Amino acid sequence: MRYQIKHELKGRLRVHMAQRRMTCREADILLYYIEGLAGVTEARVYEKTADAVIFYEGDREGILAALRRFHYEETEVPEGLLEHSGRELGACYKEKLVCKVLARAARQLFLPSPARMAYAAARSAHYLWKGACCLRRGRLDVEVLDAAAIGASLFRGDFKTAGSVIFLLGIGEILEEWTHKKSVGDLARSMSLNISKVWLKQDGQEVLVAASSVCPGDEVVVHMGNVIPFDGIVTAGEAMVNQASLTGESVPVPRGEGKSVYAGTVLEEGELTIQVKAVSGSTRYEKIVRMIEDSEKLKSAVEGKASRLADRLVPYTLSGAALTWLFTRNVTKAMSVLMVDFSCALKLSIPIAVLSAIREANGRHITVKGGKYLEAVAEATTIVFDKTGTLTKARPTVKEIAVFAEGADPDEMLRIAACLEEHFPHSMANAVVAAAKERGLEHEEMHSKVEYLVAHGISSYIGEKKVVIGSWHFVFEDEGCTVEPGQQERFQSLPEEYSHLYMAIDGRLAAVICIEDPLREEAAEVLRALRGLGIRRLVMMTGDSERTAAAIARRIQVDEYYSEVLPEDKASYIERRKAAGEKVIMIGDGINDSPALSAADAGIAVSDGAEIAREVADITIQAENLWELAALRELSLRLMRRIHTDYRAIVGVNSGLILLGVAGVLAPTTSALLHNTSTVAISLRNMRNLL
């Protein structure tokens, strides 16, 4: 596509695309394309001027060449990105603000005084009605103050002051609504489903297909531990479904034939065949928006405190205005008190600070499902880490396949293992499936129904032979499998530096898959950084052997470590720490981590982990590195500091305005202007990034 370079600095380009104006859709497509280019660190697209600002490192010519190749119709974007980008919402509210300011200026310049008075009287009815409704409900909320200030102005015949107050209140309402909707929209988009493959039932067989190819009326099979991808009706199977992400229910609910299930809920136990009812991503998105807007999850304790404090201060403000009038008999001074209240700033600026922090976290690929979880991260003293896929790299690889069955082929053993493991994705299972794919091994369904035992392994049948694959504890202790006598020495000499996945057929060890799961390079440094940010206790818990756990613990220098633990052990440890008065964060990535993630004050899942972990968790971080944990902790601490600064600023500024009004220094109109200006200024400051 043709473009013109309008301005250039080192590492920054501003280009004008060869078109008069972009639509919001085109701007979103271009932004998505530019952000995906190698070397681009940040980009902005302005649809009204058809300009793009690009910040980059490295290959300038490569970026320019890519822009020349760009075409709107040839660029593929993820489903739902354009429909819910938020750009159109922003343009709508910018237009509302501009129109409101221009309309105000036009009235002041061109309307005669009687017409302005009539307009102010008509607009005041809305605020007077809201105040009356609050009084009728027996409440003294900020709406009563607004109504009292406007009503007193009208009673005195001061239509100019009443008009100014109404205008400033309208500006504040637009800013509040805009910030809230944008923050909620950003959060909902980050929580939306990202399911690319599903098991489609065709001619009695399960076939792995792209989710985008599924149509209403198709039947899909959902296995234990997976997210239900579509709204639908259960046609076969029984299961327990966790619906907390949509309904807030803490206990899984039973679902069987004829029952409805919803996209985004998690199948915790059992297996279901579902007839698809709706495939649109918007249904899930809209449900999440409603959940965020309605759920108390969005509210942190500091937000609740601000709201309660704001309501408690309203009677004092009204009393102050009444006392001022009684002692001074000066209506103007009493009006100056009414024009200034603490409630408006507290109720507007604190939620904006929290929502903006959630939005900033989302920009760093950290999904936070509610303000109270940021507060929990800020207050936490203990962090519990799962090892596999969390402290170790999220993409372990198969390094060796040791065969113990006579005449068995390593590739055949890997093929069988991949056939079983593909049903229950976890970092270890993903490694097995990936290794089979790299070797070009086709692993069509050859087994009967697969049974998954959390934190243990998988059991199934191939023909008449029982096949189990999993941990040493599961294969040898639970299942009672044995090693051929002549293979004992070789079995004992398996390389210790690898994790081992044991597979037995008909009670005899058939193969051991050796998986390299290297420690993340940054793990030790991140843990030191977390200590520097106030975390007092760092704990590692793993299902691995004592020898492996001890070696990892020494390298990363945790305060405590526990080996060969079960899911319930992790959850019970967290409950004990909470009972001791500590705030606890749990970080994990597997199905077996979900009880502990639920038990913690803030459960954090890495994004490449099991879907159930991501759904149950309160926060999801990108899996590339652990530095995002330190960023999340610092963001949370800075949010709390910003909120406490807001408290001091709101109380200080508004108290000063009240005193100046009572002293007769400020007129009511000036008090209202300065009060609303300070509220908007604090709110705008709270929209700025913390990091």
pLDDT (tens digit per residue) in 128-153: 998 899 888 887 777 887 788 788 77
Q: Is the pLDDT of residue 350 over 70?
A: yes
pLDDT at 246 (0 to 100): 58
Q: What is the mean pLDDT of the chain?
A: 82
pLDDT per residue over 371-416, tens digit each? 888 999 999 999 999 887 788 876 678 989 999 988 889 999 999 8
User: Do residue 458 and residue 548 come from a single domain?
Assistant: no
Lowest mean pLDDT among 68-77, 283-292, 475-484, 609-618: 283-292
Q: What is the DSSP string of 213-276?
A: G--TT-EEEE-TT-B--SEEEEEE--EEEE-HHHH--SS-EEE-TT-EE-TT-EEEEE-EEEEE
Q: Which domain holds residue 315?
A: 90-188+297-354+637-686
User: Do residue 551 and residue 608 come from a single domain?
Assistant: yes
Does a structural domain hold residue 450?
A: yes
Q: Smallest Cα–Cα separation from 539: which of 581, 582, 591, 595?
A: 582
pLDDT per residue over 500-543, tens digit each? 889 999 999 999 999 887 888 899 999 999 999 999 999 999 87
User: Do residue 311 and residue 386 come from a single domain?
Assistant: no
Residue spans of alpha helices (H) in 46-141 = 60-69, 87-110, 113-136
- The CA-based angle 537-542-545, given to 5 degrees, is 125
- Out of 621, 651, 670, a domain closes at 621
User: Do residue 473 and residue 613 come from a single domain?
Assistant: no
Q: Is the pLDDT of residue 585 over 80?
A: yes
At residue 169, what are phi and psi to the nearest 5 degrees? -65, -40
User: Do residue 426 and residue 511 come from a single domain?
Assistant: yes
The distance in angstroms from the start CA to the end CA of the chain is 36
pLDDT at 619 (0 to 100): 87
Q: Is the pLDDT of residue 239 over 50?
A: yes
Q: Do strands 197-202 and 205-210 pair parallel, antiparallel, or not at all (unpaired)?
A: antiparallel
pLDDT per residue over 31-40, tens digit each? 989 988 988 9
Average pLDDT value for residue range 237-248: 71
User: Do residue 406 and residue 496 come from a single domain?
Assistant: yes
SS3 633: helix
Residue 5 to residue 42: CA distance in whole angstroms: 17
Average pLDDT value for residue range 250-259: 80
Residue 537 to residue 384: CA distance in whole angstroms: 8
User: Do residue 304 and residue 343 come from a single domain?
Assistant: yes
Q: Is the pLDDT of residue 76 over 70?
A: yes
User: Do residue 532 and residue 611 come from a single domain?
Assistant: yes
Residue 248 to residue 279: CA distance in whole angstroms: 23
Show the tokens assigned to 202: 């065709």
Q: Look-up: residue for tokens 């500006």?
A: 171
Residue 244 to residue 234: CA distance in whole angstroms: 19
User: Do residue 58 and residue 45 come from a single domain?
Assistant: yes
Does a structural domain hold residue 504?
A: yes
Among 297-301, 321-325, 477-481, 635-639, top mean pLDDT goes to: 635-639
Residue 15 to residue 269: CA distance in whole angstroms: 54
- Out of 621, 654, 669, a domain closes at 621
Does a structural domain hold residue 382?
A: yes
Does a structural domain hold residue 197?
A: no
pLDDT at 295 (0 to 100): 45
Q: Give percent above pLDDT 70 in the chain.
A: 85
For residue 417, give every residue at least 6 positions away whose Cβ sits within 8 Å of its Cβ, in sequence order, or none: 432, 436, 469, 501, 503, 511, 513
How many residues does the structure list for the chain? 691
Do 633 and 376 touch, CB atoms closer than 8 A?
Answer: no
pLDDT per residue over 85-120, tens digit each? 778 877 888 888 889 889 989 988 898 989 989 988
User: Do residue 474 and residue 490 come from a single domain?
Assistant: yes
604 burial level (CB within 10 Å; 0-12, 13-18, 19+): buried
User: Side-chain half-sphere of 146: how many Cα atoms within 13 Å?
Assistant: 30
- Beta-bridge partner residues of 64: none
H/E stretch holding 182 reads helix 159-191
Q: Look-up: residue for tokens 């229910």?
A: 249
Does a structural domain hold residue 237?
A: no
Residue 23 to residue 87: CA distance in whole angstroms: 10
Q: How far is CA 532 from CA 385, 601, 627, 630, in A?
A: 17, 21, 13, 10
CATH number for the domain spanning 471: value is 3.40.1110.10
DSSP state for residue 192 in the 8-state scheme: S
Residue 584 to residue 562: CA distance in whole angstroms: 16
Among 55-59, 280-284, 299-303, top mean pLDDT goes to: 55-59
Q: In this structure, how many other beta carbons lie within 10 angstroms of the beta carbon of residue 329? A: 9
Does a structural domain hold residue 220?
A: no
Average pLDDT value for residue range 270-299: 63
Average pLDDT value for residue range 448-453: 68
**Angle between helix 627-662 and 331-338 (nearest 10):** 170
pLDDT at 376 (0 to 100): 92
- Beta-bridge partner residues of 385: 540, 587
Does a structural domain hold residue 236?
A: no
- Out of 494, 516, 538, a domain closes at 516
User: Do residue 322 and residue 467 come from a single domain?
Assistant: no
Q: In what order do the strands lie in the sheet with 253-255?
A: 253-255, 239-242, 266-270
pLDDT at 607 (0 to 100): 63
Counting the structural domains of the chain, the total is 4
pLDDT at 425 (0 to 100): 61
Lowest mean pLDDT among 76-80, 131-135, 167-171, 597-601: 76-80
Do 399 and 515 touch, CB atoms closer than 8 A?
Answer: yes
- pLDDT-derived band at 302, boundaries 50, 70, 90: low
Q: Give percent above pLDDT 90 in the chain.
A: 20
Global pTM? 0.66
Does a structural domain hold residue 141?
A: yes
Q: How far is CA 494 from CA 256, 401, 408, 514, in A?
A: 45, 10, 18, 8
H/E stretch holding 458 reads strand 457-462
pLDDT at 297 (0 to 100): 47
Do 590 and 565 touch, CB atoms closer than 8 A?
Answer: no
pLDDT at 296 (0 to 100): 43
CATH number for the domain spanning 66: value is 3.30.70.100
DSSP state for residue 518 in the 8-state scheme: P
DSSP state for residue 448 in the 8-state scheme: S
Residue 226 to residue 616: CA distance in whole angstroms: 12
User: Do residue 523 and residue 463 come from a single domain?
Assistant: no
Residue 634 to residue 627: CA distance in whole angstroms: 11
